[in-house]
Amino acid sequence: MKTIVEAKQITKLYGTKGTVFPALQQIDLTVAEGEFVGIMGPSGSGKSTLLNVLATIDQPTSGDIVIDGIDILGMNEDQLSAFRRDKLGFIFQDYNLLDTLTVKENIVLPLALANMNVDELERRVDEIADRFGIRPILDKYPYQISGGQKQRTAASRAIVSKPSLILADEPTGALDSKSATDLLESLKDLNERERATILIVTHDAFAASYCKRVVFIKDGTLFTELIKGDQPRKAFFKKVLDVLSVLGGGSSDVI
């Protein structure tokens, strides 16, 4: 099976000599193509730092990161920009949509930047609009749609370029329960039907229960992991809650 993410001995230090804070300590993480992986842990555990390092938003102090066969730590800023555009899809809690563009224009922005031909661009928009149920709002602007619709728009933009890796940072954090469930079901469907590789950071055990594997981080180190296997989502949800209780809290206060 093809490996999409291979991170070895990732360490991230903040501060100066004498007041150094280790956000990550020798983290090893491998994600295979077609996996749906969640990262969880208490506040300050390092999970968001890990996501930012894998997303090329931040650089580790030491270690090696290879994504889709490419050593991302050996690239300059121009190369990183092209890599993010071509290989990564991002879903953020605050949507990061451009208010001056319609829903459709927000979705196609990555394709326009990559100079994709119009026919292929339109075909992909049609496909994604149906998948995420947003066809009726394609001509609306972000300020005219709900939070759930904004997040589905952001998810559509993240996958429209068919990236090697989709990274999501608290994707359900600002959503009501129905909108969150709709988004998670869409991501699950994307993962199962198209073998999309998805990595999400979440504080929510319900969101984590949709993943095939959940990695738990504590104090910048790997604590444990759970593999869903063939068990029902509700049973997996309970196991996630059990680990969170050991880490120091339930799904509402473990972030």
What structural domains does the chain harbor? 3-248 (3.40.50.300)
User: What pLDDT was estimated at residue 93?
Assistant: 79
Nearest CA to 2 out of 31, 37, 38, 39 is that of: 31
User: What pLDDT was estimated at residue 255?
Assistant: 31
pLDDT in tens, 69-110: 999 998 998 999 889 888 999 988 788 899 999 999 999 887
Residues 187-198: b if buried by 16+ CB within 10 A, e if exposed? bbebbeeeebbb
| 70, 5 contact by CB (below 8 A) | no
- Nearest-angstrom CA–CA distance, 20 and 209: 35
pLDDT exceeds 60 at position 48: yes
- Residue 158 makes CB contacts below 8 A (sequence gap 6+) with 89, 90, 91, 166, 168
Q: Is 240 exposed, middle or buried (0-12, 13-18, 19+ CB in 10 A)?
A: buried
pLDDT exceeds 70 at position 55: yes
Give me the numbers of helices (H) and strands (E) for the chain, helices first please.
8, 10
- Nearest-angstrom CA–CA distance, 192 and 91: 18
User: What pLDDT was estimated at residue 74?
Assistant: 87
pLDDT exceeds 60 at position 254: no
pLDDT exceeds 70 at position 250: no
pLDDT in tens, 122-154: 888 888 888 888 999 999 999 999 988 998 899
User: What pLDDT was estimated at residue 160?
Assistant: 87
Q: Extract the tokens encoding 102.
A: 């319609």
Question: Pairing relation of β-strands 62-67 and 3-14?
Answer: antiparallel
- Nearest-angstrom CA–CA distance, 248 and 254: 7
Q: Higher pLDDT residue, 86 or 4?
A: 4
Contacts by 82-85 with C-beta closer than 8 Å and gap 24+? 83/56, 84/55, 84/56, 85/110, 85/113, 85/114, 85/161
User: What pLDDT was estimated at residue 18?
Assistant: 78
